[in-house]
Amino acid sequence: MKLTEILDALHFYRETKEIENVTIKGLEIDSRNVEQGDLFICIEGFTVDGHLYARQAEEQGAAAVIAEKPVDVSIPVILVNDTTKAVALLANKFYDYPTEKLNVIGVTGTNGKTSVTYLLEAIFKEQRKKTGLIGTIQMKMEDDCFDVKNTTPDSLFLQRSFQQMVNRKIDTVFMEVSSHALDLGRVYGCDFDIAVFTNLSQDHLDYHASMGDYLHAKSLLFSQLGNRYDEKKPKFAVVNKDDPHSKMLIKSTSQPVITYGIEQQADIRAIDVKLDANGSSFLLKTFNEEVHITSKLMGNFSVYNMLAAASAAICAGIPLHTIKRALESTTGVSGRFEPVNLGQPFGVIVDYAHTPDSLENVLETIRSFVKRKVYVVVGCGGDRDKSKRPLMADAAVKYADLAIFTSDNPRTEEPQAILNDMVAGLQGNNFQVIENRKQAIDEAIRLAEEDDIVLIAGKGHETYQLINGEVHDFDDRIVAANAIKFNWNKEN
């Protein structure tokens, strides 16, 4: 593609050299991956300044550079005000606006994003649609899975992936949209068809200055909904009416809003909700139809997740009987309320809950059906929102008979310092501190007796621990299974 052609995507730029005859083979934001003929875009990151790598990009064959400030290279440099925004616009143009050729459902909110995208995938697959999925666990193109570094990847990776999905004739993509991604413009220029809001509670205050800023970031998904008007692709905002923050999100969009909820008079409701140890059941009532759902998914939070997915699917025109079939056959998502069951007489559940609100939801659900004691193993991440630490500890001791506080990705922080922050204000004696996560899980499983439940919270599907800046293999499910084998075999 001619450089001048791709630069049409930018509103304003200034070139340092004649660029008429320059052609571009690809786009790259990492100098280490630059190939002959690439356009290298310098991004000032949180760790390093990409402008420092312009020379390396030139040496590797870059044809031109996009930068915010002068860089010392002999190839043409295109100066722009904001390279992060520029890369989103350029990638959209380079890959020929792939989101306009796909149906894209973006899901945002503190909790439930992953589960809602997987429920949507189940519903659309039931309708025999070709699906794509982008989120915390992985990226999927139909049944092919790919590793991802971020919940919502950078705009270049994203647009490239969307184009691959177009080439594979994928019909609908379900995408978790994090507040970081919205704030950093990773989804700038994406043509979302449906934006879903699940809920908002305290998280990520290491990144966002306040809850107001966090909510504002979420609202960007709704304000950019329908920026590209296409009468064949109507847009919808789908929001949880029971969450008070939805009012602000409704105000942010000019598109039709569909509300869902259990408590409030919403457009789509779950009525007569029943929860027990086998799952949940409710009457799903839409504008003009109703259907009874019996699901294996447990807890009130799962009913909200099902409502969110059902509401988005209804907006996309999926029939209610298909939604029912899909919801009733879904057994769950990796690392989300996932049982580790080797036939032992007590329950072990691994869950991703890593916010005070989600921990309370999961523990409340367990409390509602447990016959005896509840043990919880939980920690808090290092280099992240410190104000969350005492709240996580409070939630744990409020519901558990014994909370064992332990490490959860301490990153560059001292694990014991994180644990001290967690327990500093705790009263009572229903907690222990065991810094080593394996020992903490072993101890909870050693203590468990018939009909007790052990909840191992925080890491869910993750298969590593970040300690001292290094990645160590660690999977709560494997550690728990080994502990069950060891303790249970001893007794039998």
Ligand X SMILES: CC(=O)N[C@H]1[C@@H](OP(=O)(O)OP(=O)(O)OC[C@H]2O[C@@H](n3ccc(=O)[nH]c3=O)[C@H](O)[C@@H]2O)O[C@H](CO)[C@@H](O)[C@@H]1O[C@H](C)C(=O)N[C@@H](C)C(=O)N[C@H](CCC(=O)O)C(=O)O
Residues flagged as binding site for ATP: 109-115
* Structure tokens given for 464: 């590593």
Tell me, by CB under 6 A, how many residues bind ligand X. Answer: 20
Binding residue for ligand X, selected from 3, 6, 31, 353, defined by CB under 6 A: 31
Site string for ligand X, 131-170 (x = CB under 6 A): ------------------xxxx-x----------------
Q: 237-265 burial, b if ≥16 CB within 10 A, otherwise e?
A: bbbbbbbebbebbbebbebebbbbbbeee
Of 2, 35, 48, 468, the residue at the interface with ligand X (CB under 6 A) is: 48
Order of strands across the sheet with 38-41?
14-15, 77-79, 64-67, 38-41, 26-28
Let me know: does 189 contact 155? Beta carbons within 8 Å. yes
Smallest distance, Å, CB 37 to ligand X? Answer: 17
Nearer to ligand X, 31 or 159 (CB): 31
Q: What would the DSSP string read from start to end of 246-311? A: HHHHHHH--S-EEEEESSS--SEEEEEEEEETTEEEEEEE-SS-EEEEEES--SHHHHHHHHHHHH
Whose Cβ is closer to ligand X: residue 180's or residue 296's?
Answer: 180
Site for ligand X (CB under 6 A): which residue of 8, 25, 45, 387? 45
Question: Which of these ranges, 48-56, 334-342, 366-374, 423-431, lies near ligand X under the rule CB under 6 A?
Answer: 48-56
What 3-state class would DSSP assign to 99? helix
Minimum CB–partner distance for residue 3 and ligand X (Å): 19
Q: How far is CA 357 from CA 209, 380, 443, in A?
A: 19, 14, 25
To the nearest whole angstrom, how small is the minimum distance from the Cβ of residue 53 to ligand X? 4
Tokens of 45: 């990151």
Binding to ligand X by CB under 6 A, coded x per residue (else -) over 49-68, reads: -x--x---------------
Nearest approach, Cβ of 56 to ligand X (angstroms)? Answer: 7
87-126 footprint of ligand X as x/- string (CB under 6 A): ----------------------------------------
Q: Which residue is nearest to ligand X (CB)?
A: 45
Q: Quick one: which of 312, 333, 328 has its CA closest to 124?
A: 312
To the nearest whole angstrom, how small is the minimum distance from the Cβ of residue 355 to ligand X?
9
CA–CA gap between residue 340 and residue 406 (Å, rounded): 20
Cβ closest to ligand X, residue 48 vs residue 283: 48
Question: DSSP of 417-436, one letter per residue?
Answer: HHHHHHHTT--SS-EEE-SS
Rounded CA-CA distance 171/174 in Å is 10
Toward ligand X, which CB reaches closer, 207 or 488?
207
Element (H, E) at 196: strand 194-197
Distances (CA, A) of 256 to 218, 250, 311: 18, 9, 13
The smaller minimum CB distance to ligand X, of residues 135 and 332, is found at 135
What the block records as the tokens of 326 is: 């899909």
Q: Is 47 in the site for ligand X (CB under 6 A)?
A: yes
Interface with ligand X (CB under 6 A), residue from 15, 30, 82, 171: 30
Residues 6 or more apart in contact with residue 66 via CB below 8 angstroms: 13, 39, 40, 41, 42, 77, 78, 80, 83, 86, 87, 90
* Shortest reach from residue 149's CB to ligand X, in Å: 5
Interacting residues with ligand X between 170 and 229 (CB under 6 A): 178, 180-181, 207
User: Minimum distance from CB of 216 to ligand X (Å)?
Assistant: 16
* Sole window of 39-47, 159-167, 361-369, 395-403 interacting with ligand X (rule: CB under 6 A): 39-47
Instruction: Judge whether 301 and 112 are in contact, CB under 8 Å.
Output: yes
Name which of 96 and 206 has its Cβ closer to ligand X.
Answer: 206
* Known binding positions: 31, 109-115, 150-152, 178, 186, 384, 408-411, 458, 462
Footprint of ligand X (CB under 6 A): 29-32, 43, 45-48, 50, 53, 149-152, 154, 178, 180-181, 207
